[in-house]
């Protein structure tokens, strides 16, 4: 019983130790500059439409290519 208590006390004592590598790394991380904050309104503003007359055809063609690629991958043997 005393051995278990002694082991627990040793483990607890190691938790109180200071580790210079960790504190140095944390200090270096905090010294880095943060990116500049910008207002969100200009980022959310929609300047132009993303879809046009050919968008549906382009998306269908891409879907067909992806389906063919998926089918080809299903057929391939994995070694």
Residue 50 domain flag: no
Residue 8 domain flag: yes
User: How many domains are there within the chain?
Assistant: 1
**Per-residue pLDDT averaged across 8-12, rounded?**
83
Full residue range of the structural domain in which residue 22 is found = 1-33
Rounded Cα–Cα distance for residues 64 and 60 (Å): 6
In the numeric block, the tokens 């200090």 are attached to: 27
Tell me what pLDDT residue 36 has.
Answer: 84
Burial of 21: CB neighbours in 10 Å, binned 0-12, 13-18, 19+:
exposed
Nearest by Cα to 70 from 62, 79, 10:
62
Q: Does the pLDDT at position 7 exceed 80?
A: yes
Residue 21 domain flag: yes
**What does the pLDDT look like over 26-77, one tens digit per residue?**
555 565 677 888 898 887 877 777 778 889 999 999 999 999 999 988 887 7
Tell me what pLDDT residue 68 has.
Answer: 94
């Amino acid at each position: 019983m005393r051995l278990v208590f002694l082991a627990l006390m040793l483990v607890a004592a190691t938790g109180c130790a200071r580790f210079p590598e960790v504190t140095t790394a944390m200090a270096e991380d905090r010294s880095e500059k943060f990116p500049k904050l910008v207002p969100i309104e200009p980022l959310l503003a929609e300047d132009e439409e993303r879809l046009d007359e050919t968008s549906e055809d382009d998306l269908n063609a891409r879907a067909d290519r992806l389906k063919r690629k998926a089918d080809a991958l299903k057929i391939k043997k994995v070694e």
